[in-house]
Structure 1
Amino acid sequence: MKTKRHWSQMQDWSLAWGMRLLFTVYRLCGRQMLQVFLYPVVTYYWLANSAARRASRDYLARLAAFQPEVKLSGSLFDSYRHFLGFANAIIDKLAAWSGLIAVNDVEFSGREQLLADLAGGRGALLLANHLGNPEVCRVMADRDAAVKITVLVHTKHAEKFNRLLRRYNPDSAMNLLQVTEINAATAMLLAEKIEQGELVVIAADRTPVNGGRTLTVDFLGAPARLPLGPFVLAGLLKCPVYFLFCVKRNGRHQIVFERIGDALSWRREQRDAVIQQAAALFAQRLQQHTLQAPLQWFNFYDFWQT
């Protein structure tokens, strides 16, 4: 029987030379010319990466069954469109990092509340996901100079991509912190950053790299696993907690900060129930945003562990 690979062991095709080529075209020739070059590059990776293609089709088929109104299916054509969306998101990621996305290209929701929390001197924890392009939130650091952002990343592939990002903007106010697990040392480091008034961003929709503990939630009508660590952090850091969503509509990025409380808190006997409730709320909100931008959810692996 073939063993399913963990998402962190899969080749991240977004790191390949094709993305660097496309971004060079984007910088020199603009977005319209980019689309001409986009198709052959994406076609190659769509054909070559069978595991990601299967995962894409599985996700789209589940989406179609859950909400037919989205008018998508698990077809090859829709999967190809899904890959095209991901390639464009990678270009936007590089553009955001290099300062090519202007503040006027971004709409914020919940920003004032977040800045009010930061004005108190402590930072906040943002629970992010792989819907759209959360890295665009670095535009907020450009707009509000006092805002510092630390993003936790988990894989060697991410480390390579981070080097590519720094190549375009070595002086960014966004710090990328590679970790393989959330342990006591990690929590202490993040607590220091919170004390210094920084925003800490961690993805809460991928299982731990080293096989750590998970939670089961309902997502698109079926059980799926989320990592326990981010929700435990939400209690340990004793700071405001937000869900972070960022999707692109009509050429503009829409960043949503949804505040869920001053901090997660619990008595010992309530701990598991409080954490499970927070994870279920996260999955519910992620599902709602995903249904509004279905081709912008980019988890190209067996998310439901079938």
Structure 2
Amino acid sequence: MNKSSHWSAMGEWSVIWGMRFLLRVYLLFGRTVLQCFLYPVVSYYWLANKPGRAASRAYLKRVAALSPASGLHGNLRDSYRHFISFANAIIDKLAAWSGALSLSDVDYHGRDSLLAQIRTGKGAILLGSHLGNLEVCRVLADMDEAVRINVLVHTKHAEKFNDLLKQTNRNSGLNLIQVTEVSAATSMMLSDKIDNGELVVITADRTPVSPNPRVSRAKFLGADALFPQGPFILASLLKCPVYALFCLKQNGKQVIYFERFSDLLTFPRKNREQALQQTVQRYAERLEHYCLMEPLQWFNFFDFWQVNEQ
């Protein structure tokens, strides 16, 4: 894949100083005033970011073709709504960080199954995505001292983000872990966390940052796209249950969906690639299902379907 086209080459504006400033505005003045800051910024970003705008429209056109009932067409208006949805997701992210979200603001589907798994003393892998707002899971971490959530992130600012989280809630059970690739040492560390009954969240809808990423092709929204093999290989190494995790904003509330994806992932050596591809395809189908539920909440503003020979 052309390095310049990779998602990691895009400048993300949610750097630590920016998030610190936005969090301060949110805490001092609330959501309405913060929107006065965010909307002009996102509007400018939408106008200036031609590749992101084109990627947004291409994605929304795929949604429109598969789901006419969505009312989307993939035009400029839809793309702008997509970016504004991103702005609102940032505000929801800040609300989750600040502790402004309570359990009454969140609905759950499948939570009892996950909590029962934690009570066995063995943790689980949660396959997250860039659909909706993973930060809302902080509410789950705060509701029970027994729940510890570790989120694997690619950002180099993981330690600073952790400091920011601790400033808003010192007792938070959410921990960010920076990784570019999962080494043997990383696997051992995560294995210890799983054995301690903790949860490990890893996004499964972006290819790795490494030069030669391990990926599988999967049909997603009507065309082939590349998905990372790493989250699924990691889950097989950790020998633990796997859940698909989606957090959507619906009817003014955050709704978290936990789906039992597998009791134990195994990839036999003789048909390893085939088994991996089938597993990745199954995940892509679940991601598509939830994307079609809330299409404006999938935030990958790059050409997701740019499939090159590996």
Q: Structure 1-normalised TM-score?
A: 0.92
Unmatched segments (≥5 aa) in structure 2: none
Structure-2 residue corresponding to 1:248: 249
Partners of 1:49 and 1:161 lie apart in 2 by 26
Describe the SS at the equivalent of 1:13: coil
Deviation at 1:37, TM superposition (A): 3.6
**2:40 is paired with a residue of what secondary structure?**
helix
Task: Report the CA distance shift for 1:248/1:43 in structure 2 as closer, same or farther (over 3 A).
Answer: same
Match of 2:14, SS state, is helix
Instruction: For structure 1, list consecutive stretches of 5 or more residues without a partner in the other structure.
Output: none
The 1:280–1:86 alpha-carbon spacing in structure 2 relative to 1, beyond 3 Å, is same
> For the residues of structure 2 that align with 1:21 and 1:250, how far apart are their CA atoms?
28
Q: Does 1:292 align with 2:297?
A: no
The residue correspondences of 1:1-306 to structure 2 (distance < 5 A) are 4-15=4-15, 20-156=20-156, 164-210=164-210, 211-305=212-306
More displaced stretch, 131-140 vs 260-269: 260-269
What is the distance in 2 between the residues matched to 1:275 and 1:79?
33
CA distance in 1: counterparts of 2:58 and 2:243, whole angstroms:
29
Q: 1:155 to 1:96 in 2, by over 3 A?
A: same
RMSD, matched Cα: 2.1
Q: Secondary structure at the match of 1:156?
A: coil
Work out the number of aligned pairs and report it: 305
Distance 1:84 1:287, change over 3 A: same
**Identity among equivalent pairs (%):** 59
For residues 3 and 23 of structure 1, the distance between their equivalents in structure 2, rounded to whole angstroms, comes to 32
Moved more, 244-253 or 51-60: 51-60
* Contact 1:19-1:90 within 8 A present in 2 as well: no
Task: Tell whether the 8 Å contact from 1:105 to 1:252 is kept in structure 2 after alignment.
Answer: yes
Deviation per CA, 1:175-206: give whole Å up to 9, x if none: 10000012322212211111111100000000
Name the aligned partner's letter for residue 7 of structure 2: W
> What are the Cα deviations for residues 7-62 of structure 1, in whole angstroms up to 9, with x where unaligned?
11110023386655544443333334443443212212222322222221221122
> Bigger shift: 52-61 or 199-208?
52-61
**How far apart in 1 are the matches of 2:272 and 2:116?**
28
Q: Quick one: distance in 2 between partners of 1:190 and 1:49?
A: 37
Q: Which amino acid aligns with 2:103?
A: V
Give the structure-2-normalised TM-score: 0.91
Contact 1:18–1:41 (CA<8 Å) still a contact in 2?
no
Aligned mates of 1:158, 1:57 — CA distance in 2: 31
Bigger drift between 236-245 and 171-180 goes to: 171-180
- Code of the aligned partner of 1:151: V
**Deviation at 1:66?**
2.6
State the 1:167 CA deviation. Answer: 4.5
Q: 1:202 to 1:150 in 2, by over 3 A?
A: same
Which deviations, in whole Å up to 9, do the C-alpha atoms of 1:260-300 show, x marking residues without a partner? 22211243224333322221111101101000101000011
**Secondary structure of 1:259 counterpart:** strand
1:94 Cα deviation from its structure 2 partner: 1.8
Counterpart contact for 2:16–2:160, Cα < 8 Å: no
CA distance in 2, matches of 1:160, 1:45: 25
> 1:187 corresponds to which letter in structure 2?
S
